[in-house]
Amino acid sequence: MGNEELWAQSVLEMPKRRDILAIVLIVLPWTLLITVWHQSTIAPLLAVHKDDGGDSQRDLAAGLDSKEYCLSDRDIVEVVRTDRPVQKAELTRLANTLLHVPNLHWILVEDSQRRTPLITRLLRDTGLNYTHLNVETPRNYKLRGDMRDPRIPRGTMQRNLALRWLRETFNRNNSQPGIVYFADDDNTYSLELFEEMRSTRKVSVWPVAFVGGLRYESPKVNAAGKVYGWKTVFDPHRPFAIDMAGFAVNLRLILQRSQAYFKLRGVKGGYQESSLLRELVTLNDLEPKAANCTKILVWHTRTEKPVLVNEGKKGFTDPNVEI
Amino acid sequence: MLRRRNLLTTLLIALPWALLLTLWHQYPTTHYLSLLRNENVTSKALLNGTSALREEVFPSCTRQQQSIGATPKIIQNYVYSRPPPWSDTLPTIFVITPTYTRPVQKAELTRLANTFLHVQNLHWVVVEDSPRRTNLVSNLLEKAGLNFTHLNVETPKSLKLGLSWIPSHTPRGTLQRNLGLHWLRDSFSNTAPPEGVVYFADDDNTYSLELFEEMRYTRRVSVWPVAFVGGLRYESPKVSPAGKVVGWKTVFDPNRPFAIDMAGFAISIKLILEKPHASFKLEGVKGGYQETSLLKDLVTMDGLEPKAANCTKVLVWHTRTERPTLVNEGKRGFTDPRVEV
């Protein structure tokens, strides 16, 4: 044997390795594709429904036009972080507020793998019109334990899923009026706020308390009633220096600009709202509400994490009791 | 032949990957991944654009019209008339809420009012810890539409400081709650006591609507579990099979006469009027003994009425609201101080 034969041997082996590589490159994608196609055609035939309750529960008052209750004049997109002890409390008091708002449709999107029974039950018991969705923000296993990927701002995928649901549910051409508002479950909302946003033609804005390290942040409104800037300390030159709770969008606009979503990655802190709004509207088109942005109708409250130190390692309270 | 095989191989590789890339590009990652996991029906629905599927997953309005729900009718009546009309036969729930001025006060009272507006025959007694009744609270109460009484009494600074060395937080609200009790005793006579209960509701807790119906028919003192107190998921009275309270399921000092949180009990008006000297003790009260200082003068443990399915359900949560960061206000203030927050 000599160098020549070794070389010949290696040349013979190369095609084998290349063959294997080729086979893998072929089999892998086709398998994936077939699995996906399989799931998408078989699964819908199963009786697994997305939970879209509320409409069936609403009793029709005598004399009501039967079409009316399908007219959601309002869609509130609620993003829920699952597995927090205070979750049920937050949703309970939020529901207590939402129950006062006529023509409201609550879209609750869980950040979870599955829709949790706790939330399903809670939604059903309120009697509200609702849609219950879920999508899980991918976890970043490099960080300890349960941390979600910090590069994706919290709630983004869930809000985007809700936008997608709206676009799939409502026909772009149908004239059904509606407003979309993003409501986090720990904020506090006055009832007046919901009436203010109802008249939104494109995008309306108003002040929000306890954001940006201030008592409140607010749009700057000139004498002509136009928004021309932002009264904030933190980065007032953002295209839309406004909190998620500080604006509402007309449903028609959401449907028309069907590609407008919150950007998933590469979004600087505080720019989330801009990532959506810049695709929908310009500064000039914004409609100031709340008495030309002089009244506070929504507060960015945050709930403390409860101290559970006395549960100890094994747990003291009965885990079957839902809190 | 080799060339043809190469071509075929290249095609077989390129085609599926191109398809995958197109799919990937169109939909966010987890939609795709969850398709594989068979969980998210919505994503599947989105991938499949047929109208037949759309019918099934998003039922049309007309189809849902047919199903009629029974229970929600009652809810609907409450929903759009706030508060529910006063009834002469239903016992009244007097809710005593001590409150004090701080940034989140208006927010707390707002969402509390939003809850109370659902409860029939509720009378809200708001007692401010202040030298004068503030405009903020007065206006809020007037606008809310609830039956209310607005009181105030200022906790003297000496009292605030004197008690603050105790490991637990200063027992805030004592003077205010006592004033609420005093007002009740002034307003109603012992000879013809109204049907009703007294409940002490702090302005940062969370209350379910069910809780109020549980407490409404209290004969003497009723009790139930409270979430997020005592360093636990919830604290609860221990109830015997006979339906009597026999102890307290707490880690912190379970041997207190009444190891229960302020939000965990309600007292009948009759009892409050019968025992006119029963109040919360102001001084010398150990941390966690505030509730005991009142209840020991009203009832004994075996006189307690357990509610919430024999104390197995949690209907009230001792939530606490974070103090907001106002660091960007700076020394002179950035926002307009005339704008009420």
Question: What's the rounded Cα separation, in Å, for the pair B287 and B339?
Answer: 38
Q: Does A88 touch chain B if contact means CB atoms closer than 8 Å?
A: yes
Which residue, A283, A294, A288, A280, is CA-closest to A249?
Answer: A280
Closest C-alpha among B179, B28, B32 to residue B99: B179
Cβ–Cβ of A303/B322 closer than 8 Å? yes
Q: Taking all residues of chain B, what is their mean pLDDT, rounded to a whole number?
A: 83
Contacts of A168 in chain B (CB under 8 A): 45-46, 54, 58
Determine the angle formed by the axes of helices A117-126 and A87-98, rounding to 10 degrees: 20
Options 3.90.550.10, 3.10.20.340, 3.90.25.10, 3.90.650.10; CATH for A76-299 is: 3.90.550.10
DSSP class per residue in A96-118:
HHHTTSTTEEEEEEEESSS--HH
Q: With cut-offs at 50, 70 and 90, classify the pLDDT of residue A264.
A: very high
What is the band of B268 on the pLDDT scale with cuts at 50, 70, 90? very high
Pick from A216, A220, A222: which is nearest to A240 by CA? A220
> Rg of chain A over CA atoms, in angstroms?
25
* Cβ–Cβ below 8 Å for B45 and A88: no
Shortest Cα distance, chain A CAs vs residue B78, angstroms: 9
Averaged pLDDT of chain A: 83
Closest residue in chain A to residue B112, using alpha carbons only: A93
Residues A102-121, mean pLDDT to the nearest whole number: 93
Residue B336 lies in a domain: no
CB contact under 8 A, A59 and B320: no
pLDDT: is B296 or A13 the higher one? Answer: B296
CA-to-CA separations, A309 to A305, A312, A318, B247, B252, in angstroms, rounded: 12, 6, 15, 22, 11
CA–CA gap between residue B314 and residue B208 (Å, rounded): 9
Please tell me which residue, A250 or A27, carries the higher pLDDT value: A250
Ordered by start, the domain boundaries in chain A are 76-299
Contact B163, B58 (CB under 8 A): no
pLDDT by residue (tens digit) across B87-131?
Answer: 999 999 999 999 999 999 999 999 999 999 999 999 999 999 999
**B239 pLDDT higher than 60:** yes
DSSP state of A303: B
Contact A228, B341 (CB under 8 A): no
Q: Flag whether B253 is marked binding.
A: no
Structure confidence by residue, pLDDT tens digits, A22-74: 888 888 888 887 877 665 555 444 333 344 443 333 332 222 222 222 334 66
Q: Which helix (H) or strand (E) covers residue A250, if one does?
A: strand A247-250
A 179-198 near B (Cβ less than 8 A) = 188-191
Q: Does the global pTM surpass 0.90?
A: no
CATH code of the domain in which B128 resides: 3.90.550.10
Q: Is residue B4 part of a domain?
A: no
**Contact at 8 Å (CB) between A193 and A299?**
no
Distance CA B128, CA B100 (A): 6
Tokens encoding A278: 């810049």
Chain A positions touching B46 (Cβ under 8 A) are 164, 168
> Which chain A residues contact residue B108 at CB under 8 A?
188, 301
The whole-number pLDDT of residue A227 equals: 98
- B57 → closest Cβ in A29, A49, A102: A49
pLDDT in tens, B147-195: 999 999 999 876 665 544 544 444 789 999 999 999 999 999 988 999 9
Residues of chain A in contact with residue B318, where contact means CB-CB under 8 angstroms, are: 306
- Indicate which residues of A carry an active-site annotation: 273
Tokens 């508002």 -> residue? A181
Q: CA B66, B68, B71 angle in degrees (round to 5)?
A: 170
Interface predicted TM-score of the whole assembly (ipTM), two decimals: 0.78
pLDDT at B31 over 70: no
Q: Cβ distance A157 to B28 under 8 Å?
A: yes
Q: A165 vs B42: CB contact, 8 Å cut-off?
A: yes
Question: Quick check: helix, strand or coil at residue B213?
Answer: helix
* Chain A neighbors of B54, CB-CB under 8 A: 168
Annotated binding site of A for Mn(2+): 186
Contact status, residue A237 vs residue A271, Cβ threshold 8 Å: no
A209: enclosing H helix or E strand: strand A208-209
In the prediction, which pLDDT does B67 show?
31
Chain A hits for B20, CB-CB cut-off 8 Å, are 29, 32-33
Return the percentage of chain B with pLDDT > 90, whole number. Answer: 68
More confident residue, A273 or A176: A273
Peptide bond into B103 cis (omega under 30): no
Q: What pLDDT shows up at residue B283?
A: 84
Cα A296 from Cα B261, distance rounded (Å): 33
Whether the Cβ atoms of residue A154 and residue A81 lie closer than 8 Å to each other: yes
Could you tell me if residue B191 is inside a domain?
yes
Q: How far is A312 from chain B (nearest CA, A)?
A: 9
| Number of domains forming the structure of chain B | 1
Taking the alpha carbons at both ends of chain B, their separation in whole angstroms is 80
Distance from CA of A286 to the nearest CA of B (A): 21
pLDDT of residue B22: 76
> To the nearest whole angstrom, how far is the Cα of A95 from the nearest Cα of chain B?
9
Contact assignment for A215 to B42 by CB distance below 8 Å? no
pLDDT digit string (tens) for B35-51? 333 333 333 333 333 32
Mean pLDDT of B206-229: 98
Q: Which long-range contacts (CB under 8 A, 24 or more apart) does B214-218 make?
A: B214/B307, B214/B308, B214/B315, B215/B93, B215/B266, B215/B307, B216/B90, B216/B91, B216/B93, B217/B91, B218/B266, B218/B267, B218/B268, B218/B305, B218/B307
Q: Where are the beta strands (DSSP E) in chain B?
A: 92-99, 122-128, 147-152, 196-200, 206-207, 221-223, 226-227, 234-239, 245-249, 265-268, 304-306, 316-317
What DSSP designation does B285 have?
P
CB under 8 A, 24+ apart: contacts of B149-158:
B149/B123, B149/B124, B149/B125, B149/B183, B150/B126, B151/B125, B151/B126, B151/B127, B151/B176, B151/B179, B151/B180, B151/B183, B152/B127, B152/B128, B153/B127, B153/B128, B153/B129, B153/B179, B154/B129, B154/B130, B155/B129
Of B13, B65, B82, the CB nearest to A66: B65
Position A7 pLDDT exceeds 80: no
Q: Whole-angstrom distance between the N-terminal and C-terminal Cα of chain A?
A: 78
User: CB B335 to CB A214 under 8 A?
Assistant: yes
Residue B302 annotated as part of some ligand binding site = no
Among the partner-chain residues A216, A302, A322, the one whose CB lies closest to the CB of B339 is: A216
Nearest CA distance, A205 vs chain B (angstrom): 17
Which tokens hold the place of A159?
A: 């809000």
Q: Does A271 touch chain B (CB under 8 A)?
A: no
Using the Cβ of A51 and the Cβ atoms of chain B, whether some distance falls under 8 Å is answered with no
Mean local confidence (pLDDT), B299-312: 97
Residues 6+ apart with CB under 8 A from A177: A71, A73, A251, A252
Please determine, for residue A154, whether its predicted confidence score (pLDDT) is greater than 90: no
Q: Which of A148-157, A268-277, B75-84, B100-109 has the lowest mean pLDDT?
A: B75-84
Q: Considering CB atoms only, which of A135, A307, A309 is closest to B34?
A: A135
Catalytic residues of B: 291
CA-CA-CA-CA torsion for B72, B75, B76, B78, nearest 10 degrees? 170
Q: Which amino acid is at A321?
A: V
Gap between the Cα atoms of B163 and B287, Å rounded: 10
State the burial class of residue B159 (Cβ atoms within 10 Å of its Cβ: 0-12, 13-18, 19+): middle
Judged by DSSP in three states, B281 sits in coil
Q: Is residue B120 part of a domain?
A: yes
- Residues 95-154 in A contacting B (C-alpha not used; CB under 8 Å): 96-97, 99-100, 102, 113-114, 126-127, 133-138
Q: Which residues of chain A make contact with B328, given a CB cutoff of 8 A?
A: 212-214, 233-234
pLDDT, residue B160, reads: 60
| Residue B56 within a domain | no
Contact in structure between A99 and A126 (CB atoms under 8 Å) = yes
Instruction: Provide the domain limits for residue B100.
Output: 92-317
Please identify among residues 272-311 of chain A the ones whose CB lies closer than 8 Å to any CB of chain B: 294-296, 299-304, 306-311
Residue A10: what pLDDT?
A: 60
The DSSP annotation for B165-195 comes to TSSSPP-TTHHHHHHHHHHHHHHS-SSSPPS
- Among the partner-chain residues B227, B230, B321, the one whose CB lies closest to the CB of A304 is B321
